[in-house]
Amino acid sequence: MSVDKSSLEWAFFKPLTPWLGETHFVRNVNKNMIESENDAYPGFAEKLRMLSLALLNEKSNFKDLRKALSVLSVVGKVEDIPLIQSLHELNKNDLSVDVNTCLFEIRHINR
């Protein structure tokens, strides 16, 4: 999948806060916004998930990778884990923290 920068998902994605960090506050804000959009536009969450996975595949810029991980911490699925884990290869400490947080959320919180 390629990134469609004219899509509703992209317009939603760009202003998101990319930080997962040490608190669930931002994740919960993102979760509430994603759920609200999905209620208004059924299937939105899955399209946002696919956009985030496309950005991970492209190894996009650092800020977009972090935003994608924030999104995937809410809408990610177990089958996304190998792609998310592959970001450890980039050897960026801040990104590694977000990768681990995202993986935790997918494995333990979202299920």
Summarised one tens digit per residue, pLDDT across range 8-52 is 777 777 766 655 555 566 677 788 888 999 999 999 999 999 999
3 domain residue, yes or no: no
Give the gyration radius of the chain's Cα atoms: 13
8 domain residue, yes or no: no
7 domain residue, yes or no: no
93 domain residue, yes or no: yes
Domains in the chain, number: 1
98 domain residue, yes or no: yes
63 domain residue, yes or no: yes
69 domain residue, yes or no: yes
Count the neighbouring beta carbons within 10 Å of the beta carbon of residue 27.
21
Summarised one tens digit per residue, pLDDT across range 89-108 is 887 777 888 899 899 989 98
Its domain, for residue 44, covers 14-109
83 domain residue, yes or no: yes
pTM of the model: 0.83
Average pLDDT in the 61-78 region? 90
Cα torsion angle, 47, 52, 56, 60, sign: positive
Task: Count Cα atoms within 13 angstroms, Cβ side, for 42.
Answer: 0
